[in-house]
């Protein structure tokens, strides 16, 4: 395993981290938590010492499974995370609600402290400011009590907004979505974090499955390697000097082996050089929907992720027909509901890729 320093914390962490949101669905549903816990245990055997957890993952069982594994290893051998925010605790949660959430996470993880506690899912500067006013103080208190070790945040903001958060100097690290689809869009954010001595952890390195589902579009990442497209996509992210940890969501031990192979003999490079290396390769990647689902809840009932996923096919192929084929053949829905959009803007404000959803729906409706 290849190790990196986590910002200025002095912690040495594995270049691959375990994303704990992909424990086997059937095992979770059947309550076979001990079996699921074999995944983090195997990950640690392979040198992966950073386990990223949160409430709600795996039908809200991820922390329980991760805790079973954590209780079987030397606590100081693993860095474990969890997360909290307003959105998941109702509109105006009290300090007690945050406290209870943290205590529940500690209890489930079977530990006295969490190494990295995230102010979770800051979608934009407005939401970040709201969290700073109320939640940051709670984090500081929890830290002074020794319940959490490092205050970090996770975000879907663009690079320049991330820069503003980073400059406050209030965080030891951050977790962001970064991959071969959106790297140009977030590059300045990871550079700013690195320069400010922060750790940078990357989620969604496979672009919500878009990369493995469209291997031909991403074959260029494998040039000069014996890696598969998903492995090359992990390596692409991990090779950024500014990125500390690349999270791999693993269901099986083979997934862990694949991720470990992706960083064998890793060579780090500054983001600038990587962006130059790939400047003339790939499709217009920042324009793709990653299927994250944050735009759900359209007042007109439009299934936006399905429409935007179908629009991706136009970006890949350049053909209008590919959109209709995807809607009809893959999702089994008609294009007509696209015309119901009233342009309220709710979805665009929530979109993690900042896509022009309204415009795209108009285009689809007119096909
Ligand atoms: S802008 Fe259109 S698609 Fe988006 S939430 Fe509003 S009505 Fe729905
Ligand atoms: S449209 Fe945006 S928010 Fe919705 S699924 Fe796609 S990337 Fe996510």
pLDDT digit string (tens) for 295-330?
989 999 999 989 998 998 888 878 898 899 889 877
Distance CA(156)–CA(30), nearest Å, equals 33
Q: In the chain, where are the structural domains located?
A: 3-277, 289-365
Pocket test for ligand 2, best of 207, 210, 291 (most atoms within 8 A of CB): 291
Nearest residue (by CA) to ligand 1, atom 5, is: 298
- Looking at residue 279, what is its pLDDT? 67
Write the DSSP string, 287-322: G------TT---TT---HHHHHHHHHHHHHH--HHH
Atom of ligand 2 nearest to the CA of 305: 5
What residues of the chain score a pLDDT lower than 70?
A: 91, 158, 184-185, 279-286
What pLDDT, on a 0 to 100 scale, did the predictor assign at position 14?
Answer: 98
Ligand 1: which of 301, 302, 306, 335 to mutate, judged by most atoms within 8 Å of the beta carbon? 302
Q: Which ligand is nearest to the CA of 286?
A: 2
Q: Beta 173-177 vs 148-155: how paired, if at all?
A: parallel
Q: Does the beta carbon of 87 lie inside 6 Å of ligand 1?
A: no
Residues 269 and 240 sit within 8 Å (Cβ to Cβ): yes
Cα 6 to Cα 1, 196, 199, 272, 274, distances in angstroms: 15, 12, 5, 20, 21
pTM for the whole thing? 0.81
Q: Cα-Cα-Cα-Cα dihedral of 41, 46, 51, 56, to 10°? A: -60
Return the CATH fold of 3-277. Answer: TIM Barrel (3.20.20)
Token readout for 159 is 């690079």
Regarding the beta carbon of 358 and ligand 1, being less than 6 Å apart is answered yes
Q: pLDDT digit string (tens) for 69-82?
A: 999 999 999 999 99
């Amino acid at each position: 395993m290849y190790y990196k320093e986590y910002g200025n914390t002095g912690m040495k962490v594995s270049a691959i981290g375990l994303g704990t949101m992909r424990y086997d669905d059937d095992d979770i549903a059947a309550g076979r938590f001990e079996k699921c816990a074999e995944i983090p245990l195997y990950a640690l055997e392979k040198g992966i010492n950073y386990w990223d957890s949160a409430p709600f993952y795996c039908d809200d069982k991820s922390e329980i499974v991760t805790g079973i594994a954590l209780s079987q290893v030397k606590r100081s051998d693993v860095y474990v995370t969890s997360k909290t925010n307003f959105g998941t605790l109702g509109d105006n949660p009290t300090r007690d609600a945050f406290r209870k959430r943290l205590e529940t996470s500690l209890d489930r993880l079977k530990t006295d402290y969490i190494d990295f506690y995230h102010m979770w899912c800051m979608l934009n500067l407005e939401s970040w400011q709201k969290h700073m006013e109320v939640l940051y103080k709670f984090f500081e208190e929890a830290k002074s009590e020794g319940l959490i070790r490092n205050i970090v945040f996770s975000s879907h903001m663009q690079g320049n907004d991330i820069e503003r958060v980073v400059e406050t100097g209030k965080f030891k690290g951050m977790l962001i979505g970064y991959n071969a689809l959106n790297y140009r869009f977030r590059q300045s954010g990871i550079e700013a974090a690195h320069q400010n001595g922060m750790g940078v952890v990357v989620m969604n390195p496979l672009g919500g499955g878009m990369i493995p589902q469209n291997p031909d579009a991403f074959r260029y990442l494998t040039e000069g390697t014996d890696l598969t497209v998903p492995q090359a996509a992990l390596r692409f992210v991990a090779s950024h000097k500014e990125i500390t940890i690349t999270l791999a969501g693993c269901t099986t031990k083979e997934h862990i082996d694949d991720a470990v192979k992706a960083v064998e003999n890793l060579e780090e490079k500054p983001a600038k050089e990587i962006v130059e290396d790939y400047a003339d390769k790939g499709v217009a990647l920042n324009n793709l929907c990653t299927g994250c689902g944050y735009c759900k809840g359209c007042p007109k009932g439009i299934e936006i992720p399905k429409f935007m996923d179908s629009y991706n096919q136009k970006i890949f192929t350049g053909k209008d027909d590919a959109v209709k084929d995807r809607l009809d053949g893959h999702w089994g829905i008609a294009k007509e509901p696209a015309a119901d959009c009233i342009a309220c803007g709710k979805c665009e404000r929530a979109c993690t890729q900042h896509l022009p959803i309204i415009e795209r729906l108009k285009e689809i409706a007119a096909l």
